[in-house]
Amino acid sequence: MKLLAVLLQAGLSQAGLRFACSQVSIQRLDPIVEPGRVPSTHVHQIVGGNAFNASMAGDIGEQASCTTCAYTEDLSNYWTAVMYFKHENGSYKRVPQYPNAQLGTEGKDAPNIQGGMTVYYTQKDFNNNGKSFIRAFPPGFRMTTGSPSANTLDAAKGHPGLRYTCLQTVLTRGSETPDFPAKPCPAGIMAIHHFPACWDGKNLDSPDHQSHMYSTIKGGFQEAGACPSSHPVRVPQVAYETMWDTSVFKDMWPKDGKQPFVWSFEGNGYGTHADYLFGWKGDSLQRAMNSTCMFHACGSPGVQGVLKTQTVEEMNKCAVKSTVVEETDGWLRELPGHMAPMAFKA
Ligand SMILES: *[C@@H]1O[C@H](CO)[C@@H](O)[C@H](O)[C@H]1NC(C)=O
Ligand SMILES: *[C@@H]1O[C@H](CO)[C@@H](O)[C@H](O)[C@H]1NC(C)=O
Ligand SMILES: *[C@@H]1O[C@H](CO)[C@@H](O)[C@H](O)[C@H]1NC(C)=O
């Protein structure tokens, strides 16, 4: 009987996805907060489907033809600001990104994931996929989390899902801070963005791109609280991890000891934020959420699970032709768009 109860519980539980996406684009576009504006106010690093552009409407799952993510049916776009190193001499250089060590390795001679992010769709917490019904997002759905205008430690502390980890090694986890780590981090800085997982069940977006959602996040990958009656629909808990290789600047640390990193909106660490634009094909995300797989068992590059996967080589082939053509990479005298007024709020 005990075994049967366990099996029944297992039968009710839902999937947890954790997968890598290579970079699809780095440019100044923001189809959620500044739709149609070319260029947008600050540089973003974007992963996912190749339908990414200044304006994005309708069912993205029907518009994109490839994705840089491990799951071929995931044509969504995921993006954050870009981290820059600010040299004592006033010049900026983009901090390179590197992939999570545990995803996408297919042997030492195989191509590696290019930059990008790790994306999560969990239900309960990191280790357990729970057993309540998780409704996939509908086509056209979008949201943001955090705010580039947050500029105090208290504001940053008020967002338990938005944190940094100072990486001692590529595998360091835990010990999260609401601001950029104050000291050099041997393996770089991991930026963590958790989105709210309670939806009002009606609106695909809202004027501030956030009020159609409600966050019950407690921090880390701890189990979130119950959804309130204003936002009763539990949707997947989406989270991003971005690994920024700040170690390449270790010999240029400023003499005054202050940490030298800024976000692309000339922001300190408090204003960290992220954007999500749903684009899974058909009912593929619901199919995954209805299954019982966890992480690698759902499929990983080249290994089929409940979701169709592709190899790292195929992930890396998907690209978006930049609409905004400007230097974002070399040593820059100012951040791209920094001279433009900060005309947006998020
Ligand atoms: C992106 O949109 C611009 C107009 O804003 C258009 O000229 C361009 O072709 C689009 N790019 C793609 C890849 O669809
Ligand atoms: C600042 O230092 C970097 C690294 O040495 C150098 O490449 C860049 O040209 C310098 N910028 C200025 C304005 O001197
Ligand atoms: C997911 O599960 C729900 C509830 O059991 C069911 O109504 C729906 O058809 C399922 N969807 C898919 C795509 O499996």
Closest to 295 in 3D by CA, of 11, 99, 15, 14: 15
Contacts of 203 (CB under 8 A, 6+ apart): 212
Provide the pLDDT for residue 107.
Answer: 60
Assigned domain for 7 exists: no
Please give the distance, rounded to the nearest whole angstrom, from the Cα atom of residue 284 to the centre of ligand 3. Answer: 11
pLDDT at 12: 44
Residue 327 lies in a domain: yes
Average of per-residue pLDDT across 275-292: 95
Starting from the CA of residue 64, give the closest ligand.
1
Task: Give the per-residue pLDDT at 116.
Answer: 96
Give domain status of residue 255, yes or no.
yes
Confirm whether 215 is domain-assigned: yes
pLDDT band at 341 (very low <50, low <70, confident <90, very high): very low
Report yes or no on 203 lying in a domain.
Answer: yes
Question: Looking at the 3D structure of the chain, how many domains does it have?
Answer: 1
Counting ligands in written order, which one lies closest to the CA of residue 39? 1
Residue 344 lies in a domain: no
Token pair in block for residue 257: 């000891």
Position 243 scores a pLDDT of: 96
Top mean pLDDT of 73-77, 217-221, 297-301, 330-334 is at 73-77
Closest ligand 3 atom to Cα of 283: 13
Q: What is the pLDDT of residue 34?
A: 96
* Full residue range of the structural domain in which residue 173 is found: 12-338
Looking at the domain assignment, is residue 2 inside a domain?
no
How far is residue 301's CA from residue 312's CA, in Å, rounded to a whole number?
6
- Using the atom order of ligand 2, give the atom closest to the CA of residue 88: 1
Task: pLDDT band for 344, please (50, 70, 90 cuts).
Answer: very low
Q: ω before 139 within 30° of 0 (cis)?
A: no
Question: Is residue 125 in some structural domain?
Answer: yes
What would the pLDDT profile of 183-194 be if each residue is shown by its tens digit?
A: 999 999 999 999
Res. 340: pLDDT tops 50: no
Provide the mean pLDDT of the chain.
90
CB of 65 sitting under 6 A from ligand 1 = no
| 3-state DSSP assignment of residue 267 | strand
8 A C-beta contact, residue 169 and residue 187 = yes
How high is the pLDDT of residue 339? 60
Q: Whose CA is nearest to atom 9 of ligand 1?
A: 323
Question: d(Cα 194, Cα 163) in Å, to the nearest integer?
Answer: 9
Instruction: Please tell me if the CB atom of residue 135 comes closer than 6 angstroms to any atom of ligand 3.
Output: no
- For the segment 224-255, what is each residue's pLDDT rounded down to a tens digit? 889 999 999 999 999 999 999 999 999 999 99
pLDDT for res 267? 84
- Percent of the chain at pLDDT > 70 equals 91
CA angle 272, 170, 69 (to 5 degrees): 65
pLDDT at 105: 59
Question: How many angstroms is it from 279 CA to the middle of ligand 1?
Answer: 18
